[in-house]
Amino acid sequence: MTRGEPCIGIVGAGIAGLRAANALLKCKVDARIVIFGDETHRTYNRPGLTKKRYPSSDAPGTTIAEDLKVNGVENKALTWRLDTRVETADLREKVLRLSTGETFAYDALVIASGVRPRTSVEGDNECEFHAHRTLRGLDDAQHIHSELQTSKKVTIAGAGFVACELASLAKEYGCEVVMLETRRHGPFESILGRRIAMALGRWITQNGVTFLTGDSAKELLCDPGASNLESSSDRPLFIEAIGSVPNVEWLRGNGLDLSDGVRVDAYMRVPEREGVFAAGDIARYPDPWTTEDLTRMEFWKNAIDTGDLAGRSVASSLGYDSKTSRIGYFPSIATEVFGLRIQIAGNPKTSDSMEIVRGDLDQLDCGVLVKFLRGEVMVGAAYMDKGARFNSVYIELLKSLKAH
């Protein structure tokens, strides 16, 4: 426990950490707030890393960083400790150990350390055949954008949001693109189901991408064995977008449930340790859309909502009048793949059937509107279109969904 002015530590300089800090300042909490980030950059719009082309730059990260910068409130009570990693935490004694060799004592802690890309090649090993890359941060993005401008061929492992956006981006750069999905039949199958996933796979193929699934995809995956090649400059680009891993290693030994991120209650409180909260991609909380289930969301809006709630909950724990309420997150995500806008709301994963309200899955560009049901109750909706033909109908579906 610190003496005098309370001290609040926030581990993670992404949008969840920033929103937690902003919420604390809005609650007029009289405390020192310190945000730790292992990147050298202040908070930026992470989804924007794959949304559009960026010109090459001799200063790595500069062009993208300026374009995607997220402005946070400037306040003398808020201190940024960038390029500083939290190595370990003693949550009983309320002390963090930093990569600089320092220790940091806190009165309240917000865990917003997010996730990192899952990889098939462990440690510093390199594949013999390809130059492997992942995309999570600004420096990753600058490197990949630069390579896409010079590469003739790129292989992308995965078919989630990052993979599909990168495939679309690579085609804009003029690359020959191969996508590999070994576990499912097409993009977003775990969310939208097999029929829509296969339709999206056909859409990607129609736009000039070689899209392979199952055994055909496995045959082109790399051998994860180590290689002692001195240079990767002559190897084709291979981008892995095969999922993520929560950054929880620094929390081990504190008796927390770290089985999938950090378990919290509906107020973002970590139940095992008083004064500890979590937000963003790493937080696993009671799903307001199902009963007795926990969920962990890796979407921008989720990071904003849970960051706000964590900040307000910290303020309340310190005795400040803060409007806190249980998480009431309404899931909604959107992306664009080869000009096709894809919007998803609710929780289609919990459905047991789907109904096409408008359109035809063989003509996605002409608009398709789908609702997802669990029994007689609608639990999700999806809208795919190159225009806005059925936008008014989709809005009405959302109103019904929110009333659930």
Let me know whether 220 and 287 are in one domain.
no
pLDDT attached to residue 230: 45
* Same domain, residue pair 109 and 254: yes
Task: Tell whether 47 is covered by a domain.
Answer: yes
Contacts of 172 (CB under 8 A, 6+ apart): 53
Q: Are residues 78 and 30 in the same domain?
A: yes
Domain boundary among 189, 211, 242: 242
Q: Are residues 20 and 109 in the same domain?
A: yes
DSSP string, 292-309: S-EE---SHHHHHHHHHH
DSSP code of residue 357: E
Burial class of residue 325 (count of CB atoms within 10 Å of its CB; 0-12, 13-18, 19+): exposed
Q: What is the pTM of this model?
A: 0.90
**In a shared domain, residues 230 and 302:** no
Q: Where are the beta strands (DSSP E) in 237-376?
A: 237-240, 244-246, 262-263, 276-278, 283-286, 294-295, 332-337, 340-346, 353-359, 368-374
Residue 367 pLDDT: 97
| Structure tokens, 233 | 């400059």
Cα gap 201→181, rounded to integer Å: 10
What's the domain count of the chain? 3
Residues 273 and 216 grouped into a single domain: no
pLDDT number for residue 288: 80
Task: Indicate whether 174 belongs to any domain.
Answer: yes
Does residue 375 share a domain with residue 234?
no
Could you say which of 216, 242, 268 is where a domain stops?
A: 242
In a domain, 329, yes or no: no
- The domain boundary, picked from 286, 317, 348, lies at 317
Note the pLDDT of residue 323.
75
Query: Within this chain, do residues 17 and 92 fall inside the same structural domain, yes or no?
Result: yes
Say if CB 178 and CB 154 are below 8 A apart: yes
Residues 86 and 224 in one domain: no
Question: For residues 404 and 379, is the Cβ–Cβ distance under 8 A?
Answer: yes
Whole-number pLDDT of residue 24: 95
Range of the domain at 304: 7-116+245-317
**Domain co-membership, 349 together with 255:** no
Residue 2 inside a domain? The answer is no
Q: What is the pLDDT along the chain (404 residues), one digit of tens a residue?
A: 445 689 999 999 999 999 999 999 999 999 999 999 999 999 999 989 998 887 665 555 556 777 888 877 778 889 999 999 999 999 999 999 999 999 999 999 999 999 999 987 665 556 666 677 899 898 899 889 988 988 789 999 999 999 999 999 999 999 999 999 999 999 999 999 999 999 999 999 999 999 999 999 988 887 554 444 444 455 678 999 999 999 999 999 999 999 999 999 999 999 999 999 999 999 999 988 766 689 999 999 999 999 999 999 999 999 988 777 888 778 889 999 999 999 999 989 889 999 999 999 999 999 999 999 999 999 999 999 999 999 999 999 999 988 76
- Is residue 14 located within the same domain as residue 82? yes
Q: What's the rounded Cα separation, in Å, for the pair 89 and 103?
A: 9
| In a domain? residue 328 | no
Strand partners, 354: 372
Q: Do 126 and 107 belong together in one domain?
A: no
Q: Is residue 331 in some structural domain?
A: no
Residue 281: CATH number of its domain: 3.50.50.60
pLDDT of the residue at 125 = 54
